[in-house]
A = this chain, B = another copy of it.
Amino acid sequence: MSHKLNTPKGTRDFSSLELKKRNYLLKVLRDSFKSFNFQEIQTPSFENLSTLTDKYGDEEDSLMFKILSSGEKVKKADISSLNDGKLSKFANSISDKALRYDLTVPLSRFVQQNLNEITLPFKRFQTQLVWRADRPQKGRYREFLQCDVDIIGEKNFLNEVECIKVYDHVFENLGLPKLVLRINNREILEGISKIMNLESLSEISSTLDKSDKIGIDGVVDELSKKGMKTKSIDKLIFLLNIKGSNKSKIDLVRKEFNSKNIPSNAIDSIEEIINTCNQFKLNNIEIEFDLSLARGLGYYTGTIVEVSSPKDFSLGSIGGGGRYDDLVQKNNPKLSGFGISFGFDRIFLILEELNLFPNLLDSSKSFLFLNFGTDKISYFIDSVNQLRKDCIVCEIYPVDVKIKKQLDYANKKGIDFVVIIGDDELKKDIFKVKDMSKGDELTFMQIDSLAEKIKEIS
């Protein structure tokens, strides 16, 4: 090959060792989800564009990987849109599918399509890849694994609490330090917009969403540039700067809302969630009511949550979620949803840096049968067949090259034991087992007893 081959930008290969770690993390997540009786579903990697678009927001829509229509269908290319610079319209003329951007919108399509078969409240988990044409950076990839639990059914704050408890359960099982989960509610943000005399929440939410990156000063700057009145900004900053316990924050916001006659159900709901979480005894999560939390995705309508990475990690959030009343069906209170997502790759990085992966990711021992000629294999193939049936890892070196080369292979591959049955051993009806880490070599009588002896060792 003349040119260097690579994985596409923002994507990765995984080696066997990395996968052992990834499979460990995935198992902790999946076992946790199961212990809360979430049921697994899987959806296709791509969805019809009509399913995906106009759910997340314009910026997010532009980050979807669209799939080019195949064969003759590209003839439908809308050249005039291309010439007019309407690139998105042009793209949609030759594409009707895109790789999934998250797991929530596919879930909502699944629920709509299978309403007659599923039992409400529908508690599902899903651990699949998602794709975003984002700028890659540490802990952010263009292909990454998302692990979600969601509950679709009547709106009930206990669903929020159960999902927060799932976070707590997983983080505790992984041995992570105590993490902060920030909570807010889109309706509270709407209320704040009203207090500020804004037309809609969207005028400030994209700015707020950046507040943990650009700080309060940055928020002020950006809102001023957007032409927002100083008085409004001051009000916002006053609200964002409320310090103290969750209770004191809730009290202050409630007072503010009451004085402007803004309904405060959302504040009651936050209070109920926080109180019930206390009752549920979270071990690994500290909840913090944070008025600056906005969350980017367009479909959230109520509670929103986000888990920050531990202090000293500049990885951003390692999980987040929220309530979406209208995603499955508009104005159907029986099909409100709440769900959370785990940022698998960022959690992986944290486990790695904090040395939290178990030492023994794979306890099964491996055996390499040295090759002294194909004709000798028949003396031990029955044993190998039997051992493999018992899930004991056995490998036969594929060719009778020099023993040194075969041992070298065993060393490099991290084989635990090497089994030696050459001419000498056959003559004496014995076999030798060499422990590759210690260097010891044991001799056993009777090749017949091979499977039995190796089972004892393994």
B-contact 0/1 string along A151-167, CB 8 Å cutoff: 10110101100100000
Complex partner residue of A35 from B131, B276, B280, B391, CB under 8 angstroms: B391
For the complex, is A3 an interface residue (Cβ under 8 Å from B)? yes
Task: Tell whether, in the assembled complex, residue A158 and residue B399 are in contact, meaning their CB atoms are under 8 Å apart.
Answer: yes
Query: How far is it, in angstroms, between the C-alpha of A131 and the C-alpha of B44 when the chains are bound?
Result: 11
For the complex, is A203 an interface residue (Cβ under 8 Å from B)? no
Task: Tell whether, in the assembled complex, residue A35 and residue B87 are in contact, meaning their CB atoms are under 8 Å apart.
Answer: no
Complex partner residue of A45 from B43, B131, B280, CB under 8 angstroms: B131
For the complex, is A68 an interface residue (Cβ under 8 Å from B)? yes
CB-CB nearest in chain B for A338: B398
For the complex, is A354 an interface residue (Cβ under 8 Å from B)? no
Q: Which residues of B contact A8 (CB under 8 A)?
A: 44, 46-48, 97
B-contact 0/1 string along A338-349, CB 8 Å cutoff: 000000000000
Task: Tell whether, in the assembled complex, residue B7 and residue A47 are in contact, meaning their CB atoms are under 8 Å apart.
Answer: yes
B-contact 0/1 string along A365-390, CB 8 Å cutoff: 01010010010011001100101110
Task: Tell whether, in the assembled complex, residue B388 and residue A169 are in contact, meaning their CB atoms are under 8 Å apart.
Answer: yes
Task: Tell whether, in the assembled complex, residue B39 and residue A16 are in contact, meaning their CB atoms are under 8 Å apart.
Answer: yes
Complex partner residue of A41 from B15, B41, B63, CB under 8 angstroms: B15
B-contact 0/1 string along A19-53, CB 8 Å cutoff: 10000000000011011110111111111101100
Query: How far is it, in angstroms, between the C-alpha of A42 and the C-alpha of B159 when the chains are bound?
Result: 35
Query: How far is it, in angstroms, between the C-alpha of A123 and the C-alpha of B159 when the chains are bound?
Result: 46
CB-CB nearest in chain B for A48: B8
Query: How far is it, in angstroms, between the C-alpha of A239 and the C-alpha of B257 when the chains are bound?
Result: 89
Copies of this chain in the oligomer: 2
B-contact 0/1 string along A78-99, CB 8 Å cutoff: 0100100001001100110101
Q: Which residues of B contact A281 (CB under 8 A)?
A: 381-382, 385
Query: How far is it, in angstroms, between the C-alpha of A19 and the C-alpha of B41 when the chains are bound?
Result: 7
Task: Tell whether, in the assembled complex, residue A374 and residue B276 are in contact, meaning their CB atoms are under 8 Å apart.
Answer: yes
For the complex, is A438 an interface residue (Cβ under 8 Å from B)? no
Q: Which residues of B contact A46 (CB under 8 A)?
A: 8, 11, 65, 143
Query: How far is it, in angstroms, between the C-alpha of A124 and the C-alpha of B389 when the chains are bound?
Result: 19
With A74-B82, A279-B381, A412-B119 as contacts: A37 and B398 at CB distance below 8 Å: no
CB-CB nearest in chain B for A414: B119
CB distance from A446 to the nearest CB of B (A): 20
For the complex, is A396 an interface residue (Cβ under 8 Å from B)? yes
Task: Tell whether, in the assembled complex, residue B113 and residue A87 are in contact, meaning their CB atoms are under 8 Å apart.
Answer: no
CB distance from A104 to the nearest CB of B (A): 14
With A1-B112, A87-B75, A110-B13 as contacts: A154 and B399 at CB distance below 8 Å: yes
Query: How far is it, in angstroms, between the C-alpha of A413 and the C-alpha of B387 when the chains are bound?
Result: 40
Query: How far is it, in angstroms, between the C-alpha of A143 and the C-alpha of B42 when the chains are bound?
Result: 12
For the complex, is A395 an interface residue (Cβ under 8 Å from B)? yes
Query: How far is it, in angstroms, between the C-alpha of A70 and the C-alpha of B131 when the chains are bound?
Result: 13
Query: How far is it, in angstroms, between the C-alpha of A106 and the C-alpha of B60 when the chains are bound?
Result: 29
CB distance from A62 to the nearest CB of B (A): 7
Q: Which residues of B contact A36 (CB under 8 A)?
A: 388, 393-395
Q: Which residues of B contact A131 (CB under 8 A)?
A: 45
Q: Which residues of B contact A13 (CB under 8 A)?
A: 41-44, 110, 113-114
For the complex, is A137 an interface residue (Cβ under 8 Å from B)? no
Apart from A44-B143, A68-B91, list 12 A-B contacts with CB within 8 A: A1-B112, A7-B43, A32-B388, A37-B368, A68-B94, A77-B82, A77-B90, A158-B374, A158-B396, A169-B389, A279-B378, A279-B381
